[in-house]
Amino acid sequence: MATCDVTDDARRAPFDTFPLHQPLVGRRFGHGQSIGHHGELLQGTFEDSDGLRHRALVTLPLPGLVTHAYFHPGPGAPGRVTVKPAWKRKAAAAAELILSRYLPTASGELVIHGAGAQPGLGLGSSTSDVTAALRAVADCYALPVTAADLARLAVEAEGASDSVMLDSQVVLFAHRCGHVLESFNRLLPHIVVVGCDTDPDRGGVDTLGFRPPEHTAAEIGEFRCLLGLLRHGLSTGSVSLLAKVAEASARINQRYLPTREFDNLSTIARETGGLGIQVSHSGTVAGILFDGSVPGAVSRAEDCQRILRKRGFEDPWVFHSHSVKDGR
């Protein structure tokens, strides 16, 4: 499969070492934060205008799941970063990566206040940690890091990443090389999501151990059609069409990483007035989508939540595709 080379892409300018006349120790500390996500609205293999194929996805953000990171510059071996809690090694590695690019002699300590999402569910816990860590270091030294730089660094640190570093922008994101294939220039309409962990006993999926799917030509054709429909759904603000895209994408990918209870969830969505279902294509969470602009959407979603609980889904949750403080 023709695809972009992660490392070459990420090592291009603008990652020249930061000018040395800048102070080595910046502010007392730097802060960064990142939202989580709830899997994807669309994930598959897409062709760019040159016919090259890329694995890419459109993230469903989870704005209420916020991770904070604090970077405290301090003494230590040059380029080394310690982290609390100590198991957040990916975040520390990301901090070391950005230092190696801009300030190779700096060191310090990273403190992550995670949102508590369990890794492997598909809620983007590690991408959030990594993004927050990168932003904390950038904030500390006022590094000139763009969202595109963050995306490439996050992918290099993690191997694959959702597009949470781009915040509320809706993009088709090549999650294994860190670049934006298409920017839709639209915000998501208001979606109310009833989420659940479809397989709590599994304890999540090892995101990087999971072999990425080799989609067939027929499936690539289906993704092409779904991408067209996604563009229409975004430009008209149609949650109904976006939900059709999400469910169709999830259905195609069932061959590669099946979601337990997929058909069951799809049936419950229909019974409760949900417009479709969405899954994490690399985890075990899934969601039933409702149109937030329809009066009574929240109470319908809560009814759906009750029914899920009654059918044996543990602790389903309800969230909105954007936070209330966005003022939308």
Which residues bind to another protein, rule: CB under 8 A? 51, 217-218, 220-222, 224-229, 231-233, 236, 238, 240-241, 244-245, 248, 252
Amino acid making up residue 280? S
Minimum distance of another protein from residue 241's CB (angstroms): 6
Identify whether the C-beta of residue 70 lies closer than 8 Å to the C-beta of residue 83: no
Nearer of residues 105 and 216 to another protein, judged by Cβ: 216
Q: Which is nearer to another protein, 106 or 252 (CB)?
A: 252
152 in Cβ contact with 166 (< 8 Å): no
Which residue, 56 or 226, is less far from another protein as judged by CB? 226
Which among 268, 305, 275, 277 has a CA at the least distance from the CA of 293?
A: 275
For the CB of residue 189, give the shortest distance to another protein in the complex, in Å. Answer: 13
- Measured from the CB atom, the residue of 11 and 224 that comes closer to another protein is 224
d(CA 211, CA 249): 18
Nearest CB to another protein, comparing residues 110 and 239:
239
**Token pair for residue 219?**
């499936």
> Considering the complex, what minimum distance in angstroms separates the CB of residue 222 from another protein?
4
CB nearer another protein, residue 222 or residue 303:
222
Strand, coil or helix: 302: helix
Choose between 180 and 220: whose C-beta lies nearer to another protein. 220
Q: How far is the CB of 205 from another protein (least distance, A)?
A: 25
Q: Residue 84: CB partners within 8 Å, gap ≥ 6?
A: 109, 110, 111, 112
- Cα–Cα distance, 91 to 73 (Å, whole number): 15
Query: Least distance to another protein from the beta carbon of 230, Å?
Result: 9
Distances (CA, A) of 152 to 40, 137, 179, 297: 19, 15, 7, 37
Phi and psi angles of residue 128, each rounded to the nearest 5 degrees, phi first: -65, -45
In the complex, what is the shortest distance from the CB of residue 221 to another protein, in angstroms, rounded to a whole number?
Answer: 3
Find the shortest distance in angstroms from Cβ 291 to another protein: 14
Q: Which is nearer to another protein, 236 or 299 (CB)?
A: 236
- Secondary structure of residue 137 in the 3-state scheme: helix
What is the C-alpha to C-alpha distance for residues 232 and 55, in angstroms, rounded to an integer?
Answer: 21
Cβ contact 35:128 at 8 Å: yes
Residues 81 and 99: beta-carbon distance below 8 Å: yes
What's the closest the beta carbon of residue 310 comes to another protein, in angstroms? 27
Coil, strand or helix: which one is 301?
helix
| CA separation for the pair 232, 245 (Å, rounded) | 11
